[in-house]
Amino acid sequence: MLTLLDKLWSRHTVHQEPDGGPTLLYIDLHLVHEVTSPQAFEGLRLTGRQVRRPDRTWATLDHNVPTADRHLPIADPIAAQQVDALIANCKAFGIPLYDLHAPQQGIVHIVGPEQGLTQPGLTVVCGDSHTSTHGAFGAYAIGIGTTEVEHVLATQTIWLDKPRAMEIRVDGRLGYGVTAKDLVLGIIGRIGTAGARGHAIEYTGTAIRALDMEGRMTVCNMSIEAGGRAGMIAPDDTTFAYLEGRPHAPRGRAWTQAVDQWRQLPTDPGAHYDTTVVMDAAAIAPQVTWGTNPGHVVPVGARVPDPQDETAERALAYMDLCAGTAIEDIALDRVFIGSCTNSRLSDLRAAAAIARGQRVHPRVRAMVVPGSGLIKAAAEREGLDEVFRAAGFEWREAGCSMCLGMNPDILQPGERCASTSNRNFEGRQGSGGRTHLCSPAMAAAAAIAGHFVDVRALARTPESAS
Amino acid sequence: MEAFNRHAGLVLPLDRANVDTDQIIPKQFLKRIDRTGFGPFLFYDWARRPEFVLNQPQFAGASILLARANFGCGSSREHAPWALMDRGFRALVAPSYADIFYGNCFQNGLLPVRLTEAEVEELFRRAAEHEGYRLTVDLGACTVTDDFGFSASFEVEPHRREALLDGLDDIGRTMAHASAIAAYEAAHQA
Ligand code: SF4
């Protein structure tokens, strides 16, 4: 009786050191972006090593890139240097790259699944902690450091200690207006930001099964914020339906064979998890963070809690908030809808459903940044860009944008932002900026009201119910 | 990678839990394409305040960072250990570290020592009490000691310990398994 983790692990073991030592694990898919790769390529060059499997390596530009005026050269010379370095490295080592002018360009964790590169049963690595996103397909997907990027480029393997297996079982149904984002924030609120340290999380239960692939990716994405090494969801018909026909998915007979194999992946009944956490989906309300780590989270109807420790006290000071303030009374300057957590088509639809026919509050500057060029095009075909623009949101090109403030999209010191991204660390979106994490619908509603509101109180429309 | 055997040095007490890698080295400094030169930007936002520990003259030249639980959480950026090392740190002492950061330290010859909460508490107390407080971290013996009778042992995964003692680079070690990798690829049509 094996868990999904056991199966993925044993199928990729090249070599096992004795006595509980590390495993040399084969890597099926290596995703590369501009920020964490230049030193790795430089290392290869210095040692005269080659990329072992350029055909299993894919690169995209996302972290540094401007999300406006793409026809102009990148204004920041150091960012431009990093972008140019990736383009040159991909060329030199024969690695496929979606550059700034490719229609598929976008955030690495959006592009992999969208292109069908991410598949059940694979091992996936990337020099980025949110690689856990790809686990939504039943893959073992982890973020790695730059030295490990170099190691995978050179050997297509990585040395890893097998993590412990944690089951997070969520049964029941999410309420109206409650999304995958609220679910994962609720989980982090429950287990804490180090709650899954040393573990690979497998999400199970009826509420997880009921999520579409985009929602599953949102949940797995933030596994790292719960301290997990990876997050996974066993593949099922929802997974296969999403994948079928994608550019890199198997076709014809190969597809049928692949699906047969993928059906073997789910955890065997009765298999042992080292830790199990059980949650009730119906008890989860829309969530908003109030502090400086994702565990500082409460339901939208709650108040900023009394600080329980020094970290929380410091967080309140940084966020310029007082304990006891109602979340709905927190006024905002900026709204960011985007990032690898929440920039897929369903996220944009949920936000547009709230924004339709409304106006962004005069004090608020709001932007919507699709996760990839293809999502942007699909949203435009549905007229979502028009909905956003008419409501006063900025509609921008694909990239990480204000998720991390490494490109021109940043918060000014003291600005307060409702953000659909995944990290509310001090200065994450710009030095001195204050971030409140929430779902796309909650962010859109906050943009219009100028402060947080409970989306469940807004009129039900077919789109906003998704 | 630089080998690590035994290191004695001045302690910098950073009395905060959940220090994330965005704090260790903020994103605006990640655009360099080298592994060096990150040191001046270590804890950049905090360091802009003159009273921040890193700015206090009595800690100049510190090489052992004492911190609280879950140090290095957040982004996978290896720039965090690069910045710490570039600033002269060789060892960290804390109750726990985030997983990716922990692994990244070993890749660069920076030793993240795990002691118990109580031991770390005691070290903070001693660092406050004694000016110029120093520790000795011995990877061979797996101990942390001071000049006033403190002694604690720590655990470290044997393979990480050996690699760090030898200063061995992982790729070289993996190349010894080249035929196993080729056999895996042949068997899995990978
Ligand atoms: S969107 Fe944010 S979290 Fe995701 S890859 Fe980009 S910077 Fe990282």
Residue A352 has pLDDT above 90, yes or no: yes
Distance A304 CA to ligand 1 centre (A): 27
Chain B, residues 16-55, CB within 8 A of chain A, namely: 16-18, 20, 22-23, 26-28, 30-35, 45
Look at residue B190 in the predicted model and tell me its pLDDT: 62
Sign of CA dihedral A285, A367, A137, A294: negative
Look at residue B176 in the predicted model and tell me its pLDDT: 87
Which residues of chain B have a CB within 8 Å of the CB of A127? 76, 78
ipTM: 0.89
Average confidence (pLDDT) over A11-40: 95
pTM of the full predicted structure? 0.92
A440 membership: H or E segment, kind and range: helix A440-449
Chain B, residues 74-133, CB within 8 A of chain A, namely: 74-79, 81, 96, 98-100, 103-104, 107-108
Q: Report whether A108 contacts A63 (CB < 8 A).
A: no
- Is A293 within 8 Å of B18 when comparing Cβ atoms? yes
Distance A35 CA to ligand 1 centre (A): 11
pLDDT digits (tens, 9 = 90+) for A226-263: 999 999 999 999 999 999 999 999 999 999 999 999 99
Nearest to B45 among A47, A404, A427 (CB): A427
CA distance A129 to chain B (A): 5
pLDDT digits (tens, 9 = 90+) for B15-53: 999 999 999 998 888 888 888 889 999 999 999 999 999
Distance A339 CA to ligand 1 centre (A): 6
Distance A368 CA to ligand 1 centre (A): 15
Mean pLDDT of chain A: 95
Residue A463 has pLDDT above 60, yes or no: no
Which residues of chain A have a CB within 8 Å of the CB of B31? 35, 64, 76, 78-79, 81-82, 406
Q: Report whether A276 contacts A7 (CB < 8 A).
A: no
What residues in chain B have per-residue pLDDT under 50? none
Look at residue A406 in the predicted model and tell me its pLDDT: 81
Top-confidence residue, A239 or A465:
A239
d(C-alpha A454, C-alpha A287), whole Å:
9
Pairing of strands B134-138, B111-114: unpaired
Q: Does the beta carbon of B177 lie under 8 angstroms from any beta carbon of chain A?
A: yes
Secondary structure in 3-state letters for A164-221 = EEEEEEEECCCCCCCCHHHHHHHHHHHHCCCCCCCEEEEEECHHHHCCCHHHHHHHHH
Nearest to A155 among B70, B75, B174 (CB): B174
Cβ atoms within 10 Å, residue B121: 13
Which residues of chain B have a CB within 8 Å of the CB of A35? 30-31, 77
Pocket of ligand 1 (CB under 6 A): A 62-63, 107-109, 128, 130, 339-340, 400, 403-404, 421-422
Q: Residue A460 — pLDDT band, cuts 50, 70, 90?
A: low
A445 membership: H or E segment, kind and range: helix A440-449
* Percent of residues, chain A, with pLDDT higher than 70: 98
Residue A461 has pLDDT above 60, yes or no: no
Which residues of chain B have a CB within 8 Å of the CB of A64? 31
Residue A188 has pLDDT above 80, yes or no: yes
Average confidence (pLDDT) over A304-330: 96
pLDDT digits (tens, 9 = 90+) for A70-126: 888 888 888 899 999 999 999 999 999 998 889 999 999 999 999 999 999 999 999
Residue A464 has pLDDT above 70, yes or no: no
Residue A465 has pLDDT above 60, yes or no: no
Mean pLDDT of chain B: 94
CA distance B190 to chain A (A): 7
DSSP for chain B reads ----SEEEEEEEE---SS-BHHHHS-GGGTT-SSSSS-GGGTTHHHHTSTTSGGG-GGGTT--EEE--SSBTBS---THHHHHHHHTT--EEEES-B-HHHHHHHHHTT-EEEE--HHHHHHHHHHHHHSTT-EEEEETTTTEEE-TTS-EEE----HHHHHHHHHT--HHHHHHTTHHHHHHHHHHHT-
CA distance B129 to chain A (A): 21
pLDDT digits (tens, 9 = 90+) for A125-147: 999 999 999 999 999 999 999 99
CA distance B2 to chain A (A): 14
Which residues of chain A have a CB within 8 Å of the CB of B177? 14-15, 24, 157
**Nearest residue to A112 via CA among A39, A33, A46:** A33
Q: Compare all CA atoms of chain B with the CA of A163 and give the residue at the minimum distance.
A: B99
pLDDT digits (tens, 9 = 90+) for B153-165: 999 999 899 989 9
d(C-alpha A337, C-alpha A355), whole Å:
12
Which residue is closest in CA terms to ligand 1's atom 4? A340
Which residues of chain B have a CB within 8 Å of the CB of A28? 190
Q: Does the beta carbon of B172 lie under 8 angstroms from any beta carbon of chain A?
A: no
**Which residues fall within 8 angstroms of residue B66, CB to CB, at 6 or more apart?**
B11, B12, B13, B14, B92, B93, B94, B120, B123, B124, B127, B135
pLDDT digits (tens, 9 = 90+) for A152-180: 999 999 999 999 999 999 999 999 999 99
pLDDT digits (tens, 9 = 90+) for A268-300: 999 999 999 999 999 999 999 999 999 999 999
Amino acid at the residue A384 = L
Average confidence (pLDDT) over A424-434: 94
Q: Residue A327 — pLDDT band, cuts 50, 70, 90?
A: very high
